[in-house]
């Protein structure tokens, strides 16, 4: 059945600025289908982004949108959710934006379990700003700022989110759009802080420095290294080195931040009223 993506796209902003073959377009399509399947209206969606190629999705989306400073998207998103907890707040971000400049904001948003969904497109490099290595660049990989190979260990985004307190954590890749759409939809529907990591290609900045200059080469490489969660559970840590374990990796229920804040506000108002009546 055909789907009208135009209902969520600002057509006056076309064409997209992404490089031909960029995986971020696949993420945008999956996100718009998830919005539609959940029945979310444009006016009820608030999308926030920082700086980077992924952040451009916000500018192309027909909704309430805010393009903010590098690494600060989750701070702005938190403010929006506190003022309008009835809105669906989504943050679009890259690996450098979220985990380097915005690392502190990310772990504290996880800790609070505020009802925001962050979609992190992890292409293992700073794409827009020149190909510098990011907190997820694999050890040994080359980047503009690592011409002899990166010596830093990378973050495991899902483990970081889980350890920090996020209550929905999933990972998928641009090689499987159907799975991506399902996980994004489940993350959006979750009441609490949800993190969806999307492993994506940046053949322009990462690939051409690591012998994969074409989009199809990088996407094939991602596909070859992808392991479903059920299969990964039967594999040893050594066998999982360099693999991308995909699926719904973690889900939990615990109090959501704006709900807790509202209960606090009601207690404070009741106490003040009791004092006045005394």
Q: Which residues contact 12 (CB under 8 A, 6 or more apart)?
A: none
Write the pLDDT tens digit of every residue in 118-154: 999 999 999 999 999 999 999 999 999 999 999 999 9
Integer Cα distance of 164 and 206 in angstroms: 28
Separation between Cα atoms, residue 267 and residue 10, nearest integer Å: 43
Q: What is the mean pLDDT of residues 221-250?
A: 97
Residue 16 has pLDDT above 80, yes or no: yes
Question: 154 φ, ψ to 5°?
Answer: -90, 155
Q: So what's the pLDDT on residue 1?
A: 62
pLDDT of res. 233? 97
- Tokens at 175, concatenated: 């090689």
CB 198 within 8 A of CB 117: no
Sheet holding 244-251, edge to edge: 64-67, 45-49, 88-94, 116-122, 194-199, 168-173, 244-251, 226-228
Distances (CA, A) of 167 to 137, 146, 162: 25, 35, 7
d(CA 24, CA 93): 11
Position 236 scores a pLDDT of 97
- The percentage of the chain sitting over the pLDDT mark of 90, rounded to a whole number, equals 97
Give the list of residues 6+ apart from residue 274 with CB closer than 8 angstroms, or none.
Answer: none
pLDDT band for 278, please (50, 70, 90 cuts).
Answer: confident
Read off the pLDDT of each residue in 244-258 and give the average, rounded to a whole number. 98
Closest by CA position to 157, among listed 203, 207, 204, 102? 102
pLDDT(155) > 90:
yes
Please give the structure tokens belonging to residue 13: 């902003």
Closest by CA to 89, choosing from 219, 10, 220, 190, is: 190
Helix axes 73-83, 257-277, angle to 10 degrees: 50
* pTM score of the predicted model: 0.96
């Amino acid at each position: 059945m055909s789907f009208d993506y135009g209902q969520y796209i600002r057509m006056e902003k076309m064409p997209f600025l992404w490089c031909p073959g960029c995986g971020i377009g696949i993420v945008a399509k999956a996100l718009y289908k998830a919005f539609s399947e959940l029945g979310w209206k444009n006016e009820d969606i608030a999308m926030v982004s920082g700086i980077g190629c992924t952040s451009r999705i916000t500018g192309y989306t027909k909704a309430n949108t805010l393009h903010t400073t590098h690494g600060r998207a989750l701070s702005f998103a938190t403010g929006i959710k506190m003022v309008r907890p009835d809105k669906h707040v989504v943050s679009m971000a890259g690996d450098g934006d979220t985990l380097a400049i915005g690392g502190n904001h990310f772990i504290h948003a996880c800790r609070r379990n505020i009802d925001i969904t962050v979609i992190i497109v992890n292409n293992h490099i700073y794409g827009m700003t020149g190909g510098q290595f990011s907190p997820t660049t694999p050890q040994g990989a080359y980047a503009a700022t690592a011409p002899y190979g990166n010596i830093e260990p990378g973050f495991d985004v899902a483990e970081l989110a889980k350890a920090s307190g996020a209550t929905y954590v999933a990972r998928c890749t641009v090689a499987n759009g159907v799975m991506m759409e399902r996980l994004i939809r489940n993350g959006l529907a979750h009441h609490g802080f949800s993190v969806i990591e999307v492993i994506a290609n940046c053949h322009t900045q990462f690939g051409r420095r690591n012998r994969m200059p074409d989009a199809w080469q990088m996407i094939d490489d991602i596909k070859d290294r992808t392991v479903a969660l059920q299969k990964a559970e039967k594999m040893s840590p050594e066998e999982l080195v360099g693999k991308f374990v995909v699926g719904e990796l973690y889900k939990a229920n615990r109090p959501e931040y704006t709900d807790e804040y509202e209960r606090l506000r009601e207690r404070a108002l009741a106490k003040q009223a009791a004092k006045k009546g005394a």
